[in-house]
Structure 1
Amino acid sequence: MNVTGDQALVKKLNKSIVLERIRLHAPLSRAQLSSQTGLNKATVSNLVAELITEGLVYETGLGESSGGRKPLMLLFNSRAGFVLGIEVSVQYIQGALTDLAGAIEAELVLPLGQHDPAFVMEQIRKLVQQLMQVTPPSPHGIVGIGLGVPGMVDESGTVLFAPNLGWEEVPLQQQLETELGLPVVVDNEANVGAQGELYYGMDGEHRQLVRDLVYISAGSGIGAGIIIDGKPYQGAWGYAGETGHMTIDWNGRSCTCGSRGCWELYASEKAYTAPALSLPAHSTAKLLPFARQGDADTLSVFRDIGRYLGVGITNIVNSLNPGMLIIGGPLAEARPWLEQSMREVIDERALPYHRRQLQIRFSTLGSRSTMLGAAYAATAPFLGRVRVSL
């Protein structure tokens, strides 16, 4: 079957290619863009002129001459617009106003005292309104909003099932777009967290080398964002990555998902509420001071959580054979007290060829991975990325 596109689609594709090249590899001249993209010089010049008119690209200085006049160099204008990246968690929502390169302009955290969708929507609106008030002037203003939520999300941005929030069939994207009048992208929080790590958590050189990555979001629950061959992997129907609900104890504790013995009951903040424990707090942030003081009960719990993290990570490593695995979310802040026991289990149980070149890292973005990944998810459509399905 032959697949063709009209001139408008071809132009949009070419324009996206040129902008992406400038964004990732600037400063570049027009001649360099032509050479690197394979587009002829006239096409590049016309597309660059449009991008300059739109405020997305600007000229600066003079580059090295190859024999003629010194060329003007092109740079990406990351402050041509702004986006909002939002993470909806069980205990809070946090949001960041970023420019088009992920630089944070402002941040805000609001508590979630309840999980009723109407209440959460109201908190999201408050957060958006407060961040919009501090948005600097720019040619394009706020160009989109991205949200990461702890649950299964379909292509229309409907939260199908979020057991930790008690949600089913919540059309979050549709409601927010109607009320806010802006493009909205909604995805699973670990999926966007993986994109945050890939695009904002490592430099371009490392990003090109990492083709297969798993990001583990460990907080009030556990989820996994999976990158395969440089692209997000979401499964046949978009629900891949619900690793927190793989069974590690066939007759274990009951889970809100309806099953038993799920990984997240033992390797997330849910472990703090186990019947046999009596801890002074039920969130990682509140437990960290006790760990720093050497509280024996807190240290013991973190070591156990590390072991259980190691068990689940071993299953993922043996199944997917990723090149890199990154641990993020609130529990990443407890790295000094859980990493050793986690690595001991992985070294003991993961298949030797699978772990031989495996890189295991803790997030460089800390608790911001999902928030920044959501911002990236809102930025990409504005910058003109076009999916072509054959």
Structure 2
Amino acid sequence: MAIKKTGDLTLVKKMNTAIVLEAVLRHAPLSRAQISERTGLNKATVSSLVQDLIDRHLVLDIGPGESSGGRKPFLLLFHARAGYAIGIDLGVNYIRGILTDLEGAVVLERELTIDNHEAAIVLPKLMDCIEELRTSMPASPYGLVGIGIGVPGIVNGEGTILFAPNLSWPQVPLRAMIEERFGVPATIDNEANAGAQGEQKYGAGRGIANQIYVSVGIGIGTGIILNKELYKGAAGFSGELGHLSVMADGTPCRCGNRGCWELYASENALLEQAEPLGYTDLDALIGAAEQGDEHVIALFHRIGEWIGTGIANIVNVFNPNVVIIGNRMRRAEPWIRDAVAATVGSRALAYHREQFRLLYAEQGDRSAVRGAAHYAISAFLAKMKDS
């Protein structure tokens, strides 16, 4: 009889460890016997693998649960506080940062305003925000496991920001800078992709196969999830639907094009139109709308129509189950909702609307920062499953 090579046995153990850890992540609290039933692995193998995961501080034995006859089973939980992740949403006019446990629960949150876009000013603030979160982190077996950052621009596979028109930045090797400074793995992605992941994991997109997340802030970005997977395109640069041309001879855009959707439907577009009324920020406009200011409410309605115009194009192209509106304009839902819905209803093809729903981000303007932290958590857990 042929003897299996040690390498083969090691691979099998890694695969089985990953299966057991995934069962705990998805279905805890559960017993060793329940893991055996769910995975098809025999009880002795499960007991050995569980003990290994307990020794590695990834699983907790929380003691006996309810008995269905016989001995009470000992229940297992994922050790969410075995380590921590940092998520950052780097906006055009803000930096939002969170510290989460390994289940994505927010432990700490920080936010600061940006009034100067120069990289030499923003990057030190970004580093300070991360450092503050790291310094405030509770003690844990694994400490800080990683950092995820969503940025308003195009990012390559090496984590370099190639193009961020609303920041006017040159190419910035952000992943390399972060990893050198903090000594942990970093993931850098477009903030709309991070937002899509945040809503899929923690918000309105849970369990939905085909969804488009529309991030409406100073600019507009989109995260595209098809068949439950983030679609990034041939070179990884998909989702720049804020630069759809909606006016052939329209206003010049910082991207080099003319008549881009974000020039008419973004927070920036709203603020430009609100300037003659004496308003300079979104919160002030929302306050005025809450007080019944008809001029401001009309501005929101007009922006809602423009948002709906772009979403109708998205619906006609992708035929998604849902489109989720998120980022800062999510705060204005009460005043844009009807205009967005009416415009999509009149412009999207009838067959595409049959199984379509228009949703607003459950995470509000925290979708991207939650998704960014999820990137770091996922990378850590993938490494643990493979070790």
TM-score, length basis structure 1:
0.92
**Deviation per residue, 1:109-139 (Å, 9 max, x gap):** 1222322223222111110121122211222
1:266 aligns with 2:268: no
Instruction: For residue 80 of structure 2, give the secondary structure of its aligned residue in structure 1.
Output: coil
How do residues 151-230 of structure 1 correspond to structure 2 at under 5 angstroms?
151-201=153-203, 207-208=206-207, 210-230=208-228
1:12 and 1:384 in contact (8 A); partners too: no
Shift of 1:285: 2.1
Shift of 1:324: 1.7
How do residues 34-183 of structure 1 correspond to structure 2 at under 5 angstroms?
34-63=36-65, 69-183=71-185
Shift of 1:9: 4.8
**Distance of aligned partners of 1:174 and 1:102 in 2 relative to their CA distance in 1, 3 Å threshold:** same
**Deviation per residue, 1:267-294 (Å, 9 max, x gap):** 1112135479624334322321111122
Amino acid at match of 2:214: I
Partner of 1:362: 360
Separation of aligned partners in 2, 1:273 and 1:324? 28
Amino acid at match of 2:380: F
Shift of 1:11: 3.6
**What's the C-alpha RMSD, in Å, of the aligned pairs?**
2.1
1:292 aligns with 2:290: yes
Separation of aligned partners in 1, 2:273 and 2:283? 21
Amino acid at match of 1:32: Q
Instruction: For residue 290 of structure 1, give the secondary structure of its aligned residue in structure 2.
Output: helix
Instruction: For residue 324 of structure 2, give the secondary structure of its aligned residue in structure 1.
Output: strand
Shift of 1:148: 0.3
Partner of 1:342: 340
Range with bigger deviation, 220-229 or 13-22:
13-22
Shift of 1:243: 0.7
Partner of 1:235: 233
1:272 and 1:282 in contact (8 A); partners too: no
Of 229, 249, 252, which aligns to 1:251? 249
Amino acid at match of 2:290: R
Shift of 1:385: 5.9
1:280 and 1:287 in contact (8 A); partners too: no
Shift of 1:229: 1.2
Range with bigger deviation, 240-249 or 107-116:
107-116
Shift of 1:105: 1.2
Separation of aligned partners in 2, 1:357 and 1:171? 42
Separation of aligned partners in 2, 1:87 and 1:12? 34
Separation of aligned partners in 1, 2:318 and 2:358? 14
Amino acid at match of 1:22: V
Separation of aligned partners in 2, 1:256 and 1:346? 27
TM-score, length basis structure 2:
0.92
In structure 1, stretches of 5+ residues that fail to align are: none
**Distance of aligned partners of 1:197 and 1:339 in 2 relative to their CA distance in 1, 3 Å threshold:** same
**Distance of aligned partners of 1:43 and 1:283 in 2 relative to their CA distance in 1, 3 Å threshold:** farther
**Deviation per residue, 1:67-124 (Å, 9 max, x gap):** 6533211111111111111010111111011111121111111222322223222111
Separation of aligned partners in 2, 1:307 and 1:19? 47
Partner of 1:384: 382
Partner of 1:333: 331
**Distance of aligned partners of 1:276 and 1:284 in 2 relative to their CA distance in 1, 3 Å threshold:** closer
Separation of aligned partners in 1, 2:383 and 2:282? 38
Partner of 2:19: 17
Separation of aligned partners in 2, 1:152 and 1:372? 19
Amino acid at match of 1:88: L
**Distance of aligned partners of 1:277 and 1:22 in 2 relative to their CA distance in 1, 3 Å threshold:** same
Shift of 1:252: 0.8
Separation of aligned partners in 2, 1:125 and 1:140? 21
Partner of 2:4: none
Separation of aligned partners in 2, 1:151 and 1:375? 18
Range with bigger deviation, 360-369 or 20-29:
20-29
**Distance of aligned partners of 1:168 and 1:244 in 2 relative to their CA distance in 1, 3 Å threshold:** same
Partner of 1:352: 350
Separation of aligned partners in 2, 1:155 and 1:387? 23
Instruction: For residue 147 of structure 2, give the secondary structure of its aligned residue in structure 1.
Output: strand
Range with bigger deviation, 158-167 or 268-277:
268-277
**Deviation per residue, 1:256-312 (Å, 9 max, x gap):** 100011011111112135479624334322321111122222111110110011111
Separation of aligned partners in 1, 2:130 and 2:304? 36
